[in-house]
Every structure is written in structure tokens, then in C-alpha cells.
Amino acid sequence: MTQAETAAPDFMSTLATGARMIGVPLSADQLARFERYYQELVTWNRKFNLTAITDYEDVQTKHFLDSLAGLPILAEELGLPVTLRPELRLVDVGTGAGFPGIPLKLAAPGLNLTLMDGTGKKIRFLEQVAAALDLDDITIVQGRAEELGRTEAFRAQYDVVTARAVAPLSTLVEYLLPMVRPGGFSLIYKGPGAPQEFLAARKAIQVLGGDTVRFAPLEVPFVEGGRFILLVKKVRATPDLYPRGQGLPRRQPID
């Protein structure tokens, strides 16, 4: 074997270590794609404001590892390895610069991934990244979740609907749960306000056809606490009334 084949790559080493710690080992090829993603992110960020986090170490921990930390929890609930099942349909709502969707796809390449965002400049960045990283089975959609969730193409179509940092929880569940197929899951990444938000959203989760199967602190390597994960199973169809239009999920969340 040549040295090139045996040596660990000298980039994304924090990500490599952290990913191993959470049980999501990444190959040299996968790490190289994360490195390319980082380069695209900081290059585009000079022209368009995509993220406030651009430091090399911070992106590895607060974006990449944070996104990946939900994967073992989801895989365990589904009874699957962390590479998941090929063709599992997952949509990331309000994905922004691609979080958590793109890291999940890089770790579990068989995923059938949809990235959704309301903002055109995010969509153009995501299209560029998908091409640069040579991602397949990926769909990039510009639109608002509360509108797309009323259409046949999106309603009850996904095995997993995920989101990070998009809206307060009682609003967010009205965006997400309509798109989950019966028996599927919503995987929600939340910050330090999660316990209070969860109490306020319990009624909405139930009304929308959800049942909480997990709500727990999320351990992210090299990140100091304040992270939570919520996993909701869709146990009943969402009533036709939801998601409501006219900004109601945001202005008057279900209570």
C-alpha cells in the first residue's frame, strides 16, 4: 500500500473525530466532500449572506457535527444502520445553506433527499453545491412549507421530514407534520429554548396527527450543550385544515 492510501486526510479532522464519536464513521472520500462543501460555503458567503458561522472549526462542529448528531437517533428509531435504507425519502424544510440535509446525505448517500427553502439565493447555492459534490437522488425546491404541504406532490409523501432553526416549535410542526407519511417521522433540531417550546407545542403535535417518541438533549462532540432533538411519529393523518394559509401557523400557532 502506498502512503497516500494509508494516511489520514489532513483536513476535516475535527469532523472525522467527532463523527466517529457519535457512531457515524466517515471515509476519506466522504471527508473530502465535506471539505469541498466547506469551500463552497465560504466562497459563496463572501457575496451572499448564507451563514454567520464560517470559521473552519466552527463549521465542522456547529454545522456538520450538529447535523450528523441526529442521524444515530433517527436510525435507532427506524431500526436501521446509520447509513439508513437506500431510497428513504427525507425532506429538509427551511434548509438554508443545506443544514441538516446535506451532511445527512453525505453520511447516508442512499438517501432520497429533498431540500426546501423559500429564498431564491439559498436555492441557487444549493444547486451549485449539489453539482460540485456530485450528489444524486436530490431534489431542490423553492417554496414555502405551509403552501407546498397542501399540494399532492408533498403532502404525506416523506418517510422523514426534518428541520433546524426555522421557526418556533408550535409553528414548525404545522409546517412539517403534513408532509410526513403515516407511520413516518419528523426529526427536529432545537436550541436551548426547546423545553419551553415543547410544552407550548404539545397540543399542536397531537392535533396534527403526531406522537412524540423522543425529546432529549442532543450530544454534539465539541459543542457545549444547549442542543435538543425531538422525534415525532405520525400516527394519524393530518386534518385537511392544516397547514393553514395567510401566515397563520406563524401568527396564531395552534394552542
Q: Which stretch binds ligand SAH (CB under 6 A): 92-100, 104-112, 152-160, 226-234?
A: 92-100
CA dist., res. 218 & res. 221, Å (int): 10
Close Cβ partners of 233 (under 8 Å, ≥ 6 residues apart): 183, 184, 185, 210, 211, 212, 213
Yes or no: say if 35 and 25 are a contact pair by the CB < 8 Å rule: no
Q: Which is nearer to ligand SAH, 2 or 178 (CB)?
A: 178
Q: Which of 117, 159, 174, 197: binder of ligand SAH (CB under 6 A)?
A: 117
Contact (Cβ atoms closer than 8 angstroms) between residue 16 and residue 31: yes
Binding residue for ligand SAH, selected from 80, 131, 132, 165, defined by CB under 6 A: 165
- Please report whether residue 168 would count as binding ligand SAH according to CB under 6 A: no
- From the centroid of its chain, how far is CA 16? 19
Query: Which 172-201 residues touch ligand SAH, going by CB under 6 A?
Result: 175
CA 201 to chain centre: 20
Asked if 164 is part of the footprint of ligand SAH (rule: CB under 6 A), the reply reads: yes
* Nearest distance in Å: CB 51, ligand SAH: 6
Q: Give 38's contacts (C-beta < 8 A, 6+ positions apart).
A: 12, 56, 59, 60
CB of 79 to ligand SAH, least distance (A): 27
**Which residues of the chain form contacts with ligand SAH (CB under 6 A)?**
93-96, 99, 116-119, 122, 144-146, 164-167, 175
